[in-house]
Chain A
Amino acid sequence: KQEVTQIPAALSVPEGENLVLNCSFTDSAIYNLQWFRQDPGKGLTSLLLIQSSQREQTSGRLNASLDKSSGRSTLYIAASQPGDSATYLCAATNTGNQFYFGTGTSLTVIP
């Protein structure tokens, strides 16, 4: 069974700082990996999806990388803003269809 871990559980940074969120998974036979954002009381918003054949994906200030051999993915946020404050979750999809979620990293960007 796939186990997904996100460290740290919480992160607080000053506005403007670049930051990296980490995601580790135990089974490297993944189909893809998605990064989501969750605001309090809201559902999840898909940010980036990386296929297993890809190394990274970029969207605006966000860049996600994938290293299947080491079982790791990172989400890089450039020039952080207070509006980036949210919980960020990663989810690995195995060939068996199911998304396996981590417990998330709660990010606070301080103005």
Chain B
Amino acid sequence: EAGVAQSPRYKIIEKRQSVAFWCNPISGHATLYWYQQILGQGPKLLIQFQNNGVVDDSQLPKDRFSAERLKGVDSTLKIQPAKLEDSAVYLCASSYRDRDRAFFGQGTRLTVV
């Protein structure tokens, strides 16, 4: 079974630039999550999709972050403009349905300089 795919693996940008991350969940998984993990901390949920609808985006900084999940499959997370404090690993995860066992991708490590 193919896992959750994320790209790119690493990204370095200057502050105020924009960046986009891509995630392809496990086939058939209806629920997709984006998490932000700052060094030394546990992952924090940014947004959760159920198919192509948003279930929870209460912790997404909507003035600079946006996410979409077209056709209920792939998803993209965008940051515009980036700030220094956005430096973190961005993890995508999927599950067959919400609250099921979650499978994570390898993450995208973002460095904002």
Contacts and interface: CB of A to CB of B under 8 A. Distances in A.
B42 A34 contact: no
B42 A102 contact: yes
Contacts of B22: none
Contact of B102 (A46, A96, A102, A103): A46
B43 A97 contact: no
B56 A103 contact: no
Contact of B104 (A41, A45, A97, A102): A45
A89 interface: yes
Interface residues of A, number: 23
B19 to A, nearest CB: 19
Interface in B80-105: 91, 93, 98-105
A49 B6 CA distance: 24
A93 B42 CA distance: 14
Interface of B: 4, 6, 33, 40-45, 48, 55-56, 91, 93, 98-107, 109
Interface of A: 4, 31-32, 34, 36, 41-46, 49, 89, 91, 93, 96-99, 101-104
